[in-house]
Amino acid sequence: MQTIPQTEISLIAGRVQFVRDSFRAGLTRPIEWRRTQLQRMIAMLTEHEQEFLDALRHDLGKPTTEAFITDLAFVTGEIRAMIKNLQKWNRPVRVASPLVTMPAKSRLMPEPLGVVLIIAPWNYPVQLLLVPAAGAIAAGNAVVLKPSEISASVSALLARLIPQYLDQGAVTTVEGGVAETTELLDQQYDHIFYTGNGVVGRVVMTAAAKNLTPVTLELGGKSPVIVDASANVGVAARRIAWGKWLNAGQTCVAPDYVLVHESLQDKLISELKSVITDFYGVEPHHSESYARIVSPHHFDRLKALLQGSTVAIGGDSIAQDRYIAPTVLTKVDPSSEVMQEEIFGPILPIIPIADLNEAINFVANRPHPLALYVFAENKKAIAEVLERTTAGGVTVNGTIMHLTNPRLPFGGVGESGMGGYHGKAGVRVFQHLKPVLLRGTMIDPSIAYPPFTERKLRLFRKVL
């Protein structure tokens, strides 16, 4: 078993206070400081690319291409967009002023919140730590970073490299498990950004409530796929398979289950079987394109979820390699455990539905998912799904891709989270838009002041 890297608990409060002192001294305010930190973050990822790829493979068995795209290129792409727009996104925004304030000008001034705590998960341990960190830095904050101890190799690498590349006066990293995270949450912050599950999300929110600290919670949930009777089944199968078995299903927006029109169930399963072979070969265990389950604990949890349903595809596993094949389940009881908790693995339940209305009601009667996917050629069917369901984000005739557009904020709703980020939203979430009214003094009409006469009242009635 791999040793969990840990930061000495007695040092944590001092580290948080140190970056707070730096923030209060104005270290993070200059745009050029922010730009330099973002550039250095890109340099860290590019100059140590192979080390990151090796660590991701060690922790999660991530294929090189998959790891490069999802955990490295995604991050550098987001940061480059922040650098390009840094000046514009931090510029005051002028807004109109009402007549009653004249003479005056109004503006919204973006200002950093202060010290931000970012707690990342293990499934995309580089992306989900550094993308929010980049947004917090671009917004002018000091940052405390907590990588996941479960992806221990990546955590150790980040803890070693971040002090070499980023300003230690305003960016610090804390490693460890429950004890270290508990100590971190006992400190005071100006914003907490947490990505993970709802159980820990509630712990984070409870801790934040002590100081009325605002939070962004990027949680998960059971993201459904609706396959309408009008769907292109061949395309649907490829895109579902790609989204589901990326990172061996360990993706917060992975398709969690499929509601397919009963007339298309057999065809969809047949297409999925063919696609799995195309993607990963006859024996996915030997594929260089298929990842592994992160830990024995998660492997055992996923194996237990296979009970009680019919395995239509896959189902085989190798414990010592933390391997579970791409698996499709049928004859799934909606009340079974596999339909109650987020699967977060390579298991895909398929449930036949009689019509679109049944599928919509199935989704609407459950907690709001982080993502929803609908496959249909019928535009009315698509519109009906969009109008009658609620989800953090939606991709139509695809999976996962909505989060790749930096102009679309990514986040959950209800039990799947609160707040959004990526692109400009990934900077704004760490800022306060301070309202400022600037009044001139050359004109100071007496009508605004007492004594209030009937004449003034008549005028007020006309202009207010």
Active site residues: 218, 252
Report phi then psi at 65, rounded to 5. -65, -45
In angstroms, the Cα distances linking 450 to 298, 442, 455 are 71, 20, 12
Query: Cβ–Cβ contacts within 10 Å for residue 120, how many?
Result: 28
With beta carbons less than 8 A apart as the criterion, state whether 254 and 223 touch: yes
Give strand ranges (E) for 222-289.
224-227, 257-261
- Residue 222 DSSP class: -
98-107: buried (b, 16+ CB within 10 Å) or exposed (e) per residue?
A: eeeeeeeebb
With beta carbons less than 8 A apart as the criterion, state whether 166 and 38 touch: no
In angstroms, the Cα distances linking 352 to 258, 264, 330 are 8, 8, 9
Q: Which two tokens stand for residue 326?
A: 């791409």
The H or E element containing residue 329 is strand 327-330
Distance between CA atoms of 148 and 144, rounded to whole angstroms? 13
